[in-house]
Structure 1
Amino acid sequence: MIWYGLLVAAVAGERVAELVVARRNERWGTARGARVTGQGHYPAMVALHTGLLIACPAEAWLADRPFVPALAWPMLAVLAGAQALRWWCINTLGPRWNTQVIVVPGMPLVTSGPYRWRWLRHPNYVAVVAEGVALPLVHTAWATAAVFTVLNAVLLTVRIRCENRALTAATTPITPAPV
């Protein structure tokens, strides 16, 4: 059980690293006229992800969930893949990546790295979904995985709509009205 706590702590540390990058990128975007949108859902997102990190070890310990190697090892691989995909997204977007919806007007959409596939517009959220299932299931915290997945699906519906609107508004050229 101690190793699982350390794994969750490592994921929490990764989240802190994301926040450091996000703050730096927010300053970069703000200096270039970026617009922040969707602030209404952001606290819910922070609460949900914090709740995941608390609930994983809490369920494993309080419900005395067993360690099942046949489930744990594949879920650990999914978790590692999710982290790799997340950082690929962060590196590809560079200073345009953020935990909030912050878009610099006039910049073209990124179409390289994991964003080159038109059928997968939000690969970072694939990483979030995979992590939300895999991290709890590493130690059979199935209730946490289920609750997070349902709540995250609702939240991602709001987030993706917000992000799509912001990206469309920021990348659509504004033509002046005829005089």
Structure 2
Amino acid sequence: MTPYAVLILLVTAERFAELAVARRNGSWSRARGAREYGAGHYPTMVALHTALLAGCLVEPWLADRPFLPLLGWPALALALAAQGLRWWCIGTLGPRWHTRVLIVPDLPLVTSGPYRYLRHPNYVAVVVEGVALPLVHTAWITALGFSLLNAALLATRIRCENSALAPSRSLSAPGAAP
């Protein structure tokens, strides 16, 4: 097994760990009356992210893509940084982090950690990883295809999240009732 295949398998294992966290957090949220938004686009998101990981393995093999150190090492650094940002988001949101859009009523927005700087930092991690992970082993078709499809999906997802979080924004406004 190549080192790149090991990397993709480790990222896949990380995804399963995310799903376990999301499942636990989903139970926490639902017990507090959470409502799910945008459930219709969730299967598309799962399929796209699965295709990213598969493409990372298949394209270098089928197209005999080489590892190019000047591209691969910086791409690996970016992919690892994206993982760090993702887990910073997960840690900051705690039980409020999900792979689905689950909103617990009457909770203010989280404005600490990476959310102090960006409204949707986890999606920055997704975008960076979607480009960088395939490029570690020159899988540029996978990087491009994922990025284009992900841009369309994120437009829907972010619109959905912003709409779902609008009431929470009013709770986070200065002078809002606790």
TM range (shorter): over 0.9
Quote the Cα distance in structure 1 between the aligned partners of 2:134 and 2:63. 13
Kept after mapping to 2: 8 A contact 1:36/1:103:
yes
Partner of 1:34: 34
Q: Which residue of 2 aligns with 1:135?
A: 133
CA contact (8 A) 2:109 2:168 kept: no
CA distance in 2, matches of 1:97, 1:6: 27
- Kept in 2: contact 1:59–1:144 (CA 8 A): yes
Deviations 1:92-131 (CA, angstroms, capped at 9, x unpaired): 00000000000101100000000012xx210000000000
State the TM-score, normalized to the length of structure 2. 0.94
SS at the partner of 2:108?
A: coil
Residues 72 and 138 in structure 1, CA contact (< 8 A), matched pair in contact too: yes
User: 2:116 maps to what in 1?
Assistant: 116
Query: For the residues of structure 1 that align with 2:170 and 2:46, how far apart are their CA atoms?
Result: 30
Alpha-carbon distance in structure 2 between the residues aligned to 1:158 and 1:172: 22
d(CA) in 1 for partners of 2:144, 2:49 = 14
Is residue 2:5 matched to residue 1:5?
Answer: yes
Post-superposition offset of 1:169: 3.4
Amino acid at match of 2:61: W
Q: Secondary structure at the match of 1:28?
A: helix
Aligned partner of 2:160 in structure 1 is 162
Residue matched to 1:23: 23
Equivalent residues in 2 for 1:12-161, closer than 5 Å: 12-117=12-117, 120-161=118-159
Q: 2: CA distance between counterparts of 1:110 and 1:21?
A: 18
Is residue 33–residue 104 contact of structure 2 (8 Å, CA) maintained in 1? yes
C-alpha distance in structure 2 between counterparts of 1:67 and 1:114, whole Å: 32
Q: How many residues align?
A: 171
* 2:40 alignment partner, SS class: coil
Looking at structure 2, the residues matched to 104 and 171 of structure 1 have their Cα atoms a distance apart, in angstroms, of 13
Tell me the percent identity. Answer: 66
Give, in whole Å, the separation in 2 of the partners of 1:172 and 1:112. Answer: 17
Contact in 1 for aligned 2:48/2:150 (Cα 8 Å): yes
CA RMSD of the aligned region, Å?
A: 1.0
Report Cα offsets for 1:58-115 as digits up to 9, x if no partner. 0000000011001000000001100000000000000000000001011000000000
1:109–1:171 CA contact under 8 A, matched in 2: yes
Letter in 1 for 2:156: V
Q: Flag structure 1 segments of 5+ consecutive residues without an equivalent.
A: 174-179
